[in-house]
Amino acid sequence: MASDTRDGHPNAALDELFDHAERVRLVDWASFSDAKTTVLLLSAFAVVSFITGLSHLSGGAETLNGPLASLFPGAQSLVLLYGVFFAFVIGVLTVGIQRRVKVAWYGVLVALPLAMLLPLLTADAIDVPLFLIGAVALPHAVRNRQHFDQALDLSPFQIASLTAFVGAQVYGTVGAYVMRDEFVGVGTLTDAFYYIIVTGTTVGYGDATPTTQVAKLFTLSVIVLATGSFTVATGSLLVPAIESRISNAFGIMNASELSLFEDHVLVLGYGEITEPLLDELVGTTDIVVVTEDTDSATKLREEGVNVLTADPTDADTLRDARVDSASGVVVATEDDARDVLAVLAARQENPDVRIVAAATNQKHVDKLDNVGADEVISPTIIGGQMLGQAVRRETGGEGEEQRDADDDEPDVDAGG
């Protein structure tokens, strides 16, 4: 009878199966506290803020009964616009947070507490969910602050156009306020700012009008400068967004969509070598493929694979693909020279990431190893080894079958 002891320890087999040094967590809390969850919480806050704001607008005049109401006398009219205004502000900041922009994170730290003041002003039950979501989202954003480290990526043209737009607004607002005696309907700085906005955006309600020749010339200059700068600034921001949508329609992923990836596997190149790899990894981890082939990118995108259509040997491309937070990199462009460049770029951007390279030519295995690949695999060598093993197994199997057949034959007496 088999003994219940193993290696001198009772029930050792059971201990080996069930007694582990590491605790197995039933819930992976880290997956609920990452940067993606921060984006979801802020998005939920913006939606609830918008709904709350619409409720206040539809309800008319608001009575302030909250603990902070005494600090803001006469804020009843402001409360009507409070929720909707901050819904748009938080919504814009959430887009920046999704792209890991650091300025957007600072904006959240300022705007979110201000938006959470609403229930403290009104003491209205409908505003309580807004405060509760904000109370969860704010510490969550602070906890994940290390993820939001990207600089605001604006082109020189965008910076120039936005600067011109702001300058035109300042020029128009200050000028209209200084010349307020030459206008009808402009008496305060708020009136001047209102007049410039409705004029520069070509709305022109007609409630503020110039009355002198100088004021009319000033208004003409505002129309030219403010309208032109508004059009250029809007175009500089909208055109890249439209290009991004067009790229997505053709199965091309842009860098902003990859900004929240963490612990993913980065595959540099796509071809006969990497196709079986994707079949193996899909469903087990997040995958990002970097390839210059738009046809392959479209095919992979239709299959649900994340694709960045760019040069896999370029350091900027690897930064866009979040190589700094990747759990591993596979280099297989089917061109060993480009593989060397890709390994060098990946190692430079993330010295600690594990890099596995596929050598098309077995003579280049050492070269890929020398430039920083942790492991180099040659499909040619592996294929040859597997063929040899298959042949030996087949040959050995036939020999064993022959020997078994000989053993089954009856013995024949030599004497007849």
Tell me the pLDDT tens digit for each residue of 337-387. 888 999 999 999 888 899 998 888 888 888 888 888 888 888 777 777 777
Structure tokens at 348: 């430079």
Question: What confidence tens digit (pLDDT) does each residue in 221-236 have?
Answer: 988 998 888 888 888 8
Residue 224 inside a domain? The answer is yes
285 shares its domain with 338:
yes
| Burial class of 253 by CB neighbour count within 10 A (0 to 12, 13 to 18, 19+) | buried
Residue 414 inside a domain? The answer is no
270 shares its domain with 192:
no
140 or 75, which is more confident?
Answer: 140
Q: How many angstroms separate the CA atoms of 253 and 258, rounded?
A: 8
Distance between first and last Cα of the chain: 50
117 shares its domain with 220:
no
Domain stop point among 180, 215, 249: 249
Q: What integer pLDDT is reported at residue 87 of this predicted model?
A: 92
Would you tell me how many other CB atoms lie within 10 Å of the CB of residue 308? 23
Q: What percent of the chain has pLDDT over 70?
A: 80
Q: What integer pLDDT is reported at residue 257 of this predicted model?
A: 62
Domain stop point among 214, 249, 284: 249
139 shares its domain with 73:
yes
79 shares its domain with 107:
yes
Question: What confidence tens digit (pLDDT) does each residue in 389-407 have?
Answer: 777 776 655 544 454 555 5
Structure tokens at 287: 């995958």
288 shares its domain with 195:
no
Residue 115 inside a domain? The answer is yes
Q: What integer pLDDT is reported at residue 36 of this predicted model?
A: 82
Does the pLDDT value for residue 129 go beyond 80? yes
Find the CATH number of the domain harbouring 72: 1.20.140
244 shares its domain with 260:
no
Does the pLDDT value for residue 107 go beyond 90? yes
277 shares its domain with 353:
yes
Find the CATH number of the domain harbouring 352: 3.40.50.720
Residue 171 inside a domain? The answer is yes
Would you tell me how many other CB atoms lie within 10 Å of the CB of residue 266? 30
pLDDT interval class at 309 (50, 70, 90): confident
Q: What integer pLDDT is reported at residue 406 of this predicted model?
A: 52
Range of the domain at 369: 255-380
Mean model confidence pLDDT for the chain = 79
258 or 144, which is more confident?
Answer: 144
Q: Which of 4-13, 129-138, 268-277, 303-312 has the lowest mean pLDDT?
A: 4-13
Secondary element (H or E) of residue 266 = strand 265-268
65 shares its domain with 37:
yes
Residue 39 inside a domain? The answer is yes
Whether 292 and 310 have beta carbons less than 8 Å apart is answered as yes
Does the pLDDT value for residue 410 go beyond 50? no
Does the pLDDT value for residue 267 go beyond 80? yes
132 shares its domain with 173:
no
Residue 386 inside a domain? The answer is no
Residue 49 inside a domain? The answer is yes
Domain stop point among 113, 147, 181: 147
Structure tokens at 384: 């040859």
Does the pLDDT value for residue 50 go beyond 70? yes
Q: What integer pLDDT is reported at residue 175 of this predicted model?
A: 92
Q: How many angstroms separate the CA atoms of 387 and 411, rounded?
A: 39
Question: What confidence tens digit (pLDDT) does each residue in 195-214 have?
Answer: 988 888 778 777 888 999 99
Q: How many angstroms separate the CA atoms of 265 and 355, rounded?
A: 10
35 shares its domain with 130:
yes
Residue 324 inside a domain? The answer is yes
Q: How many angstroms separate the CA atoms of 287 and 301, rounded?
A: 12
Based on the structure, what is the number of domains in the chain? Answer: 3
**Neighbour-count burial for 51-83, b at 16+ CB within 10 Å, e otherwise:** ebbeebeeeeebebebeebeeeeebeeebbebb
271 shares its domain with 371:
yes
